Amino acid sequence: MSTTFSVTLPSGATWTPTFVAQLDEEKCIGCGRCFKVCPRGVLELVGLNEDGEYVRVDEDDDDDEEYEKKVMTIAHQALCIGCTACAKICPKKCYTHAAAEV
């Protein structure tokens, strides 16, 4: 039997945090806003080549010829603290969050 993780606040209210579950790469424009607001290093910007494969993006090198577009990925999902800052700032609404099952 699984239950949803929740926290009882000092006020006695129950809060159920939601954690990053998915990111829609089709909608993502690779703007990096979510990456900048994430306090835990959950996200990583990568390039997508013409075959749909991930290509490492070198922030110092501006060689865009290796990839078709940049997209954000969930690189370290376990580090998410459920703040939802990424979803709040995303202009394309790419994020899906869900409660954790324990």
Predicted confidence at residue 60, as pLDDT, reads 65
* Topology at the third CATH level for domain 23-95: Alpha-Beta Plaits (3.30.70)
The residues facing 74 across adjacent strands are: 43
Predicted confidence at residue 38, as pLDDT, reads 96
Q: Which two tokens stand for residue 95?
A: 């994020």
CA gap 47, 30 in Å, rounded: 9
pTM value is 0.82
Q: Using an 8 Å Cβ cutoff, are 70 and 46 in contact?
A: yes
CA 43 to chain centre: 5
Where are the chain's structural domains? Answer: 23-95
Task: Kindly give the confidence (pLDDT) of every residue in the chain, 102 residues in length, as a single tens digit, with 9 standing for 90 and above.
Answer: 679 999 999 999 999 999 999 999 999 999 999 999 999 999 999 988 888 888 888 766 666 677 888 899 999 999 999 999 999 999 999 999 999 998
For 4, 75, 101, the CA distances from 12, given in Å and listed in that order, are: 17, 35, 21
Residues 6+ apart with CB under 8 A from 63: none
